[in-house]
Structure 1
Amino acid sequence: MGDDLNVTHITLSGHVEVHKYRYLYFVIMLTAYFLIICFNCTIVCLTVIHKNLHEPMYIFIGALLINSVLYSTNIYPKLLIDFLSEKQIITHSLCFLQASVYYTLAGSEFLLLAVMAYDRYVSICKPLQYPTVMRKAVVNTLLVLSWLVPACEFAVQDAFYASVKLCSFTLKGIFCNSSIYSLQCVRSVAISVYGVLLLLNIVLFPVLFILFTYTRILIVSYQSSKTFRRKAAQTCLPHLLVLINFTCFITYDVVVVRLESDIPKNVGLILALQMIVYHPLFNPIIYGLKMKEISKHLKRLLFHR
C-alpha cells in the first residue's frame, strides 16, 4: 500500500521553509489571488457593460483577461492548500492535468495576442475593409479557435504521455509545469518531437506573425501623419508590452526546466512566485492605464464621475 502511495503521488519540493512561514506565504498569495481576480474581472465587466467597448479590440482584451483568471485559478487554489498542509504533494494525474491546463492557457494567450495583432493590422492598414473583415462571426470564430486549438493539441500530447512510466516522484517546483516530463524513466522521443512541434505552433509562429503585423503597422504609421502615428501607438503599445512580458516568462519557464538543478532553491521560489503573480496582474494594469476608453470608464468607476 505504501509503494502505491509513492507511485501515485508527487512531492513538490520547491517550497522554502514552508513550515516556518506558511501563514505569511498564505496571506501574501491569497491577497495576490484576490487582486488578480478583482483587477481582471473589473476590466472584463467594464467591457461587457459599456456599449462603446463592444468592439473587437476590447472583446479580445476581455478574452485575454479571462485567460489570466483561468491561468491563476489553475495554480492558486492548490498552492494555498499546500501552504497550510504538512506535506506538499499532488497526485500524478492532477499534476499532469495542472501542467496541461497551464500550457494550454499559455498557448491560448499567444494566439489571442496574434488575433489582437491582426485586428490592429486590419484597423490601421486597411480601415475601409475593417467592418467587413472583423464581423461578429469572425470575431467569435477567432476567440473559439484561440482556446480550442491549444486544447486539442495538448490533448494529443496527453495521449502520448498516458503510457509513460515514472522513476522519480519529486518535482523541483511549487506547481506542475513541464518539469513533470523530467520524472520519466526514459525520455520519449515521440513526446520530445511533439513538444517541439507544439512550441513552434503555439509560440514561435504566433510571435513571428505578431512581429510581422506590427512591422507592417509601423511602416504604414511612419508614412502617415503625426496624429495617425500617435493613435496607432496608443492602441498597439499595450499589446506589445504584454507580448514582451509574457514571452519573457515563457522563455524563463523553458530555461528553468533545463537548468533546474543549477538554480538555488530560494531563487527558484522567487522566480516562480513572480511568474504567477506579476503576469496576471500586469495585463489589467497595462490595459487599464494605457487603453484610453478603458481608462476613462475605470476613472469614472473609481471616482464616481
Structure 2
Amino acid sequence: MGNSSEISFFVLATYNNVGHLRYFYFIVLLLWYCSICVANTVLIVVIFADRRLHEPMYMLLCNLLVNEISGSTSLYPLMLSQMFSDVHEVPASLCFLQMSYIYTSASVEFCSLAAMAYDRYVSICSPLRYTVIMNTGKVSVIVPLVWLYSFALFLFQLIFVVNLKYCDNVINKLFCDPQLLAALACSVSVLSSITELFFAILAFVIPFALIVVSYIRILVVCFNTSKENKQKAITTCTPQIVSVSNLFVGCTLTVFEAKIEASHLPDQVRVFFSVYLLVCQPIITPFMYGLNLPKVRQACKRFLWSKKVFFLQESL
C-alpha cells in the first residue's frame, strides 16, 4: 500500500454524532436503500422483458439504472454497518475501495447522461439519420467504454491517493472522500491540486459540457418546429433535464461542503450537503423515467398486469 501502510485504518468521525438515534437512522436508510434497489431493478427487468424497449435510448437508460444500484451499494452497506459500531474504524483498503467506486459511479452517471443527451440530440435534430448514427450495435460499444473510461480514470486517482503519506486518519464524513483523504496527507503539494482538477475535468466537466451543448441544440430545434414535435421532445427530454439539474445541485452542495469553511453549519446540514447526491439521485432516476416516458410507463403496466394475471391463474 506504499507509504500509506503506516496507517491501517481510517475513522469516520461523523458517526460519533449519531447517538441514540442510530436505530431510527438505520431503519430509514435501510428502507431507502431497499427502495432504490427495487425501483431501479423493476425498470431494468421491464426494459429487458419488453422487446419494444430494445432501443438505444432505453438501453442507455438501463445502463444508468444499473449504475444507480451499484453506486448505492458502494455507500449504504458500509453506512448501515457503521450505525451499530462504536469505533467507526474502516480498514484503509476498504476506504480506498469505497472512495474509488463512489467516484467511478459518479463518472459513469455523468458519461451515461452525456450519451443519452447525444442520443436525444440525434433523434430530434437528425431523425432521418438516427438509425444510422445510433443503433443497438453502437450502444453495446458505448456502454462498456463508459465503464472502462471511468474505471481507468479513477484507478489512476486511487494509485495517487494510496501512495500519499498520511499524518492523520480521522475523516469528518460519512464515507471515504478523496479530497478529505488528500487533506490528511503530511504535505499537500501543488501536484495534488493539479491532479484533483485534472480528474474533475475529465470525469465531470467534459461530460457536463457535452450535455449542455446537446440540450442547447435541442432547444434551438424545438423553437423552430411544430407544437406536436415540440411537446414530444419536451416529454422525452424532461427526465434527463431533471437528472442533470439534480446532479448540478448535488455537485454544488458537495463542493460547498468540501471547499468552503462550513464548520459553523450544524452537523446535520453538513451531512446533508455531503450525501445529497448519493441519496437523492438513485431514487430520482427510476421515478422520473418510469413516470414521464410513455413507452416505459406503458411497459410497466403491461409487465405488472401480466404478472397479476399469472398469479391469479396459479391461485386458481
Same fold flag (TM > 0.5): yes
Aligned to 2:77: 77
Q: Which residue in the other structure is 1:256 paired with?
A: 257
Residues 54-76 of structure 1: CA deviation (Å, up to 9, x unaligned): 00101111111111101100011
Instruction: Report the counterpart of residue 239 of structure 1 in structure 2.
Output: 240
Distance 1:6 1:89, change over 3 A: farther
Q: TM-score, normalised by structure 2?
A: 0.90
- Residue 188 of structure 1, CA deviation: 3.1
What CA distance in whole angstroms lies between the structure 1 residues aligned with 2:19 and 2:291? 39
Query: Matched residue of 2:7: which SS?
Result: helix
User: What is aligned with 1:48?
Assistant: 48
Kept in 1, the 8 Å contact 2:82–2:88? The answer is yes
1:184-236 Cα offsets, whole Å, 9 max, x none, are 11113323212211111221111111111111111112111111101111111
- Go from structure 1 to structure 2 and tell me whether the alpha carbon gap of 1:205 and 1:5 turns closer, same or farther (over 3 Å shift): closer
Q: Quick check: 1:15–1:269 contact (8 Å CA) kept in 2?
A: no
Work out which of the residue numbers 288, 291, 299 in structure 1 matches 2:290: 288
Cα deviation, residue 94, structure 1 = 1.4
Q: CA deviation at 1:255?
A: 2.2
CA deviation profile, 1:236-288 (whole Å, cap 9, x unmatched): 11111101101211222222111353433222223345433222111111111
Structure 1 regions of 5+ residues with no counterpart? none
Query: What stretches of structure 2 of length at least 5 have no aligned partner?
Result: 310-316
Q: Residue 27 of structure 2 aligns to a residue in which SS?
A: helix
CA contact (8 A) 1:160 1:190 kept: no
Shift of 1:291: 0.8
Change in 2 beyond 3 A, CA 1:121/1:198: same
Matches within 5 A, 1:1-305: 7-15=7-15, 17-178=17-178, 179-259=180-260, 260-302=262-304, 304=308
Distance 1:56-1:285 versus aligned 2 partners, 3 A rule: same
Aligned partners of 1:40 and 1:69 also within 8 Å? yes
Check conservation: 2:98, 2:176, Cα contact below 8 A. Answer: yes
SS at match of 1:255: helix
What number of residue pairs does the alignment pair up?
A: 302
Note if contact 2:254-2:273 (Cα within 8 Å) is conserved in structure 1.
Answer: no
Determine the C-alpha separation between the residues in 1 that align with 2:273 and 2:220: 37
Q: CA deviation at 1:301?
A: 4.3
Aligned residues: CA RMSD? 1.9
In structure 2, what residue type is equivalent to 1:279?
Answer: Q
CA distance in 2, matches of 1:137, 1:300: 27
2:263 match: secondary structure: helix
Q: Structure 1 residues 180-189 or 45-54, which shifts more?
A: 180-189
TM-score of the superposition, structure 1-length normalised?
0.93
Alpha-carbon distance, 1:82 to partner: 0.5
Per-residue CA deviations over 1:97-138 (Å, capped at 9, x if unaligned) read: 211111111011111011001111111111111111113221
| Deviation readout 1:136-194 (Å, 9 max, x if unpaired) | 22111111111111211111122222321111111111111232221111113323212
